[in-house]
Structure 1
């Protein structure tokens, strides 16, 4: 698909990570309750892996905590959601332009992208043109043998650098 990479704004309601993942995976910005349940079930199912040292709280306490819609998600949740969907999740940090890639060690054949400003996650998509309706968005990209998604990566980095420039000029 040719076009431009666009930032699809997700509401700032403390569930932005979950709703951004819902959008890039399923074109649904209202997946937070379901995805919080997925994470809690995953964590509860493996208390040895998801222990107090890993989670920063007990397994049971974390499960209750992540189900609270006022609580934010981060790296732990992105790693679990990458495995749940069987796709890499690239999270671009506006402040540093760094890309944290979740699931890269699993050789998944597809990748989705998010953008993060230190407090908030939005979704990234390929759109055929500026202002195109969201139903035309491509949000899932094939990962090649070089572990790249081709020219989309360059377009995404340009968008992230532009966002960083705007962020630092605020």
Structure 2
């Protein structure tokens, strides 16, 4: 059977015998360089749950592992430390130095690495996945959440343009778009053009997914295409979108275990939504939010700078300059 094995450092496909045991799998992972120790923790399923590794002779099929499964593998620091504390050394030594070493290792292994905003969940973490601040943040966020990479922004812009072009119901009329339809179609395909509610509505329907956007400043959630089997969350700072992901890995810098599109019937669906709210509050207290009334914005057409969204909107109406970017005050 073929198994997708994910570690904090890499991911690979491992082929094992259909009747392989836990012990044989572990040894194969060591021999193949996937891990350097037989003391490992393995999680499987979604949300990932710890696999019982106590019986090395048990077959993978008996413990529920099937062909095509994804296994999250990481070093079990506690298991490695246990023999030191239990080794047959004089009691006076076993009480002090050996006990301190495992405790230190356990703390290190359970602490997320890197300065990445996150919320700890009952199993795993909700993490903020930042996208570049390059005027395509909405498209990059959706691209990462649905397609697992940030490079499909231009494709998503084309999808929006095609949807507006083929609209026969006047859903996306000039009055709604704020400019002539053909002009909007050309504009939204430029990498400097910001996306918003119109794009969220179109893409959520095209991708057959619910897109929730949390306004970090107000904590209000705006939902597009509700009732779909899966949902994603984007965080909105006032001018910028980022996405969030669930990961079972303790190394939060690793994106290998990221799951952004969550099934509404998933065991973690409610916990995920609750964690998003908590993360939003955490970010609101850490200057993640941009106040659109006072931030400085630059017109990318004439290079003039304006204070706040109101002045920028007035400039756009007067000049039809529609490409803006945030700058330092």
Structure 1 length normalisation: TM-score?
0.91
Distance change in 2, residues 1:121/1:127 (3 Å) = same
Query: Superposed, which structure 2 residues align to 1:1-150 within 5 Å?
Result: 1=47, 2-46=123-167, 48-104=170-226, 107-128=227-248, 129-144=250-265, 149-150=269-270
Deviates more, 1:160-169 or 1:117-126: 160-169
Superposition deviation, residue 130 in structure 1: 4.8
Superposition deviation, residue 167 in structure 1: 2.0
Q: Which has the higher contact order (CA 8 A, sep 6+)?
A: 1
Task: State the distance in 2 between where 1:139 and 1:16 align.
Answer: 16
Distance change in 2, residues 1:125/1:169 (3 Å) = closer
Superposition deviation, residue 133 in structure 1: 1.2
Superposition deviation, residue 62 in structure 1: 0.6
Superposition deviation, residue 98 in structure 1: 1.0
Q: Any unmatched runs of 5+ in structure 1? A: none
Task: State the distance in 2 between where 1:133 and 1:109 align.
Answer: 27
Name the SS for the 2:243 alignment partner.
strand
Structure 2 length normalisation: TM-score?
0.48
Encode CA deviations 1:46-85: one digit per residue, 9 max, x unaligned: 1522101111111111100101111100111011110010
Contact 1:4 1:130 in 2 (8 A): no
Alignment of 1:161 onto 2:288: no
Task: State the distance in 2 between where 1:102 and 1:62 align.
Answer: 21
Count the aligned residue pairs: 165
